Chains A and B, each alone.
Chain A
């Protein structure tokens, strides 16, 4: 088990290193010189050169990469090109905000999926099933950025129930979380519904029914345990989507998270901040996937990582 864990840890480090490396080179090989962007066209070349020296972008590419790796291993993510803010401070401050947002959204989306998916599966093609599928279709077709704006217009500006932007307290969570839940849940609901329908047709359910196990117990105990398993896998697969969706939501709600940090840094070619944000997001992503895999192994004894 320990060996398997170490192997898995090594794979995670490799993934993070690959992501960081790709982002590092893409940033520097694609368009946009930060030194020029900070200065008006026509600024003397000496000033541009001095700016590059100050930013560290005057060195050969591989030298910059080597410096970056050495610093990263020591926990130094560099200084933002915009001002003198240490990148590590900024990303450490931003990460919990994104994790809270995404975490709450995942829990609520999963709960909604279990509720609606199971209710829909009780009577396939019934009235409730059709209503749930209609909601799923509508929610799946709704872009997150549009939904976020509509929610703000109605609940913040019209009703004044919730703040339009910022993280100022519990009420701030409502609209951003609602946006993520509505955009994340359709796939989960469909999966749970289908899984329930298939599970309730399995032999062990028929056998239990033959033993006169009450229908509600069949559904909520025997069926739920098996039907919910794909949900865990799907959440793991949706983590990338969730992080991407969080970027949009964070931008619209001015949520002080990693997504907004990276987005703002991209516009100004703030290489250290982009790299720091991506690094933290990549680490969070692989760790969460590890947790999901471990959880799945606990929930389903048939799936276990490592030797017995």
Chain B
């Protein structure tokens, strides 16, 4: 701030211009008294259940209201195909429905949702019968046209962020409640794509004002959005829901960045469910009678993904890759650091994925083998290992533990700690310097998206044509036995080539008040469903 003028000598005669100190103090005191007497206008964040919250406010915890504190920002808007932000995916499941559902989380067990039955007409075509009497939140009935608009948009690589889970599809509306979905190649993961990544929107809304689409979701889901703040989404029970109205009247999803704040809110009763309980809090919550923990091994691979071209020796030399894989122990990472439901990675696709197969050898810390492989590699360059702080739990500690053992073997990693934004930038930057990245890849349980991340469509492909072939075969083979064989071959090939460094499958733990029952949480981290939730006394 600019300095004030130097002190000036007051005039010898008369009062200085302006207020005297005594007058100023009197007026200030009067102002304070008046302000204290004024009616209280505290900007309240409370509201009665079922009402609309004013901007910048949130609802209290009360009967009929569940407040779920999220660990991840609400990155995106309500246009479902504009981003693949996980937080938005989970949120969308409250207001949108899908053609099929996976109530148990088992990717091989789809169940009817908006589609009541389905059949495969030929290798390229599926036919779906739609549920009658389903209404969008604006009162319009669901028809085949809505399914056509949604599926074609979702599978369009020019428009949809979800197209990486699809092959381009065309939809024929046979009649108001019957559609046929066709792809140019056999699409083995059609049902998972429909069940996890293709919320059904109104065709009129999809084709209309895109700003309205982004700001006002109009789905057929169990909840309707009634207030949309940047950090808090308030929804209310859809009384006309085809599957029966939820017993919880108000559902609030709110982003709170700090895990300690989320924990305090749960223990104080200011929230009923909290997301992504970090490892250091598990012990605290396990001792609380009024709190229940739900832990699972997430369908999420945590690897050191290696960026092709950044570390030439890695690209060319299998001995160097094996040296890194034998240079640290994974078991202590999950048992002592990540905790919860985390599990050592036995393959490059997550444990709970269809056709998962434990691979051999199980990489562990073997100094002699690592040193031998390193010697066989002939070179030992320095490389940058990037880790994002504040994204995956204890990611920095995990990397530090690994690096300590790597250095013992003689490797020369240099750790770069950043945030997720910085890491993503470096991955895609032409001048990026990172070679390895501590990154997660979460999928829906089908092996197609789980393995696609290693293919030519993504930044992690090393030009391995055999790998590419197996990825494509797995995605387009419909016969279950053949498909299983392709994925077993793929996993074995990837394990042998070791293009990346498998670490573990992450823990996914949610905590909720004991008086809240019926929340559906699935390890694929995509579904946290409150449709059947209820508050019991």
With a CB–CB cut-off of 8 A, which chain B residues contact A170? 40, 42
Q: Does B120 contact A (CB under 8 A)?
A: no
Contacts A39-B83, A308-B8 known; A251 to B211 CB distance under 8 Å? no
155-183 of chain A: CB within 8 A of chain B? 156-157, 160, 163-170
A–B Cβ pairs within 8 angstroms, 18 of them: A4-B5, A32-B422, A40-B84, A47-B160, A83-B228, A85-B228, A89-B55, A93-B55, A94-B56, A153-B264, A157-B268, A166-B46, A167-B45, A168-B45, A256-B57, A289-B1, A295-B24, A308-B17
Q: Does A11 contact B (CB under 8 A)?
A: yes
Interface pair A267/B257, CB less than 8 Å apart? yes
Partner of A44, one of B18, B44, B157: B157
Interface pair A263/B257, CB less than 8 Å apart? yes
In the bound assembly, the distance between CA atoms of A41 and B164 in angstroms comes to: 10
Contacts A167-B44, A298-B21, A299-B24 known; A268 to B265 CB distance under 8 Å? no
With a CB–CB cut-off of 8 A, which chain A residues contact B24? 295, 298-299
Contacts A32-B422, A40-B164, A306-B5 known; A164 to B270 CB distance under 8 Å? yes
Interface pair A302/B7, CB less than 8 Å apart? yes
With a CB–CB cut-off of 8 A, which chain B residues contact A236? 1
Q: Does B420 contact A (CB under 8 A)?
A: yes
Contacts A44-B157, A167-B45, A264-B230 known; A298 to B18 CB distance under 8 Å? yes
Chain A nearest Cβ from B214, distance in angstroms: 5
With a CB–CB cut-off of 8 A, which chain A residues contact B270? 163-166
Contacts A83-B228, A83-B230, A89-B55 known; A286 to B1 CB distance under 8 Å? yes
In the bound assembly, the distance between CA atoms of A59 and B294 in angstroms comes to: 46
Q: Does A54 contact B (CB under 8 A)?
A: yes
Q: How many residues of A contact B (CB 8 A)?
A: 81
Q: Does B74 contact A (CB under 8 A)?
A: yes
Q: Does A246 contact B (CB under 8 A)?
A: no
Interface pair A31/B1, CB less than 8 Å apart? no
Contacts A83-B77, A85-B229, A308-B11 known; A37 to B458 CB distance under 8 Å? no
In the bound assembly, the distance between CA atoms of A268 and B78 in angstroms comes to: 16
In the bound assembly, the distance between CA atoms of A212 and B295 in angstroms comes to: 77
Interface pair A254/B265, CB less than 8 Å apart? yes
With a CB–CB cut-off of 8 A, which chain B residues contact A41? 424, 427-428, 439, 453, 458-459
In the bound assembly, the distance between CA atoms of A226 and B45 in angstroms comes to: 42
29-71 of chain A: CB within 8 A of chain B? 31-33, 36-44, 46-47, 50-51, 54
Q: Does A219 contact B (CB under 8 A)?
A: no
Q: Does B4 contact A (CB under 8 A)?
A: yes
Chain B nearest Cβ from A212, distance in angstroms: 24
In the bound assembly, the distance between CA atoms of A270 and B8 in angstroms comes to: 48
Interface pair A163/B459, CB less than 8 Å apart? no
In the bound assembly, the distance between CA atoms of A264 and B73 in angstroms comes to: 8
404-463 of chain B: CB within 8 A of chain A? 418-422, 424-428, 439, 452-453, 457-459
Known: A37-B421, A38-B161. 12 other contacts (CB 8 A): A32-B421, A32-B422, A38-B76, A41-B428, A46-B159, A47-B163, A80-B230, A90-B55, A163-B270, A165-B256, A273-B230, A308-B8
Q: Does B380 contact A (CB under 8 A)?
A: no
Give the 6 A-B residue pairs with the shortest CB-CB distance, closest first: A32-B421, A93-B56, A164-B268, A84-B215, A31-B422, A42-B458
Q: Does A304 contact B (CB under 8 A)?
A: yes
Q: Does A269 contact B (CB under 8 A)?
A: yes
Interface pair B421/A269, CB less than 8 Å apart? yes
In the bound assembly, the distance between CA atoms of A80 and B228 in angstroms comes to: 12
With a CB–CB cut-off of 8 A, which chain B residues contact A54? 82
Interface pair A163/B424, CB less than 8 Å apart? no
Q: Mark interface residues in A280-305 (1 if CB within 8 Å of B CB, else 0).
A: 00000010010001011111111111
61-115 of chain A: CB within 8 A of chain B? 80-85, 89-90, 93-94, 96-97, 100
Q: Does B19 contact A (CB under 8 A)?
A: yes
Contacts A167-B42, A256-B45, A298-B21 known; A46 to B158 CB distance under 8 Å? yes
Interface pair A267/B228, CB less than 8 Å apart? no
Interface pair A304/B230, CB less than 8 Å apart? no
With a CB–CB cut-off of 8 A, which chain A residues contact B46? 166, 168-169
Q: Mark interface residues in B23-34 (1 if CB within 8 Å of A CB, else 0).
A: 010000000000
With a CB–CB cut-off of 8 A, which chain A residues contact B43? 93, 96-97, 100, 167, 256
In the bound assembly, the distance between CA atoms of A164 and B269 in angstroms comes to: 9
Interface pair B83/A302, CB less than 8 Å apart? no
Interface pair B261/A165, CB less than 8 Å apart? yes
Interface pair A40/B73, CB less than 8 Å apart? no
Partner of A39, one of B9, B21, B84, B418: B84
Chain B's closest residue to A295 (CB) is B24
Q: Does B231 contact A (CB under 8 A)?
A: yes
Chain A nearest Cβ from B1, distance in angstroms: 5
With a CB–CB cut-off of 8 A, which chain A residues contact B18? 298
Q: Does A152 contact B (CB under 8 A)?
A: yes
With a CB–CB cut-off of 8 A, which chain B residues contact A299? 21, 24
Interface pair A82/B74, CB less than 8 Å apart? yes
Partner of B77, one of A31, A82, A149, A304: A82
Chain A nearest Cβ from B9, distance in angstroms: 8
Chain B nearest Cβ from A221, distance in angstroms: 12
In the bound assembly, the distance between CA atoms of A308 and B11 in angstroms comes to: 9
In the bound assembly, the distance between CA atoms of A64 and B453 in angstroms comes to: 34
In the bound assembly, the distance between CA atoms of A74 and B402 in angstroms comes to: 53
Interface pair B418/A31, CB less than 8 Å apart? yes
Interface pair A165/B255, CB less than 8 Å apart? no
In the bound assembly, the distance between CA atoms of A26 and B21 in angstroms comes to: 44
Chain B's closest residue to A162 (CB) is B268
Chain B nearest Cβ from A298, distance in angstroms: 4
Interface pair A156/B1, CB less than 8 Å apart? no
With a CB–CB cut-off of 8 A, which chain A residues contact B21? 225, 298-299, 301
Q: Does B207 contact A (CB under 8 A)?
A: no
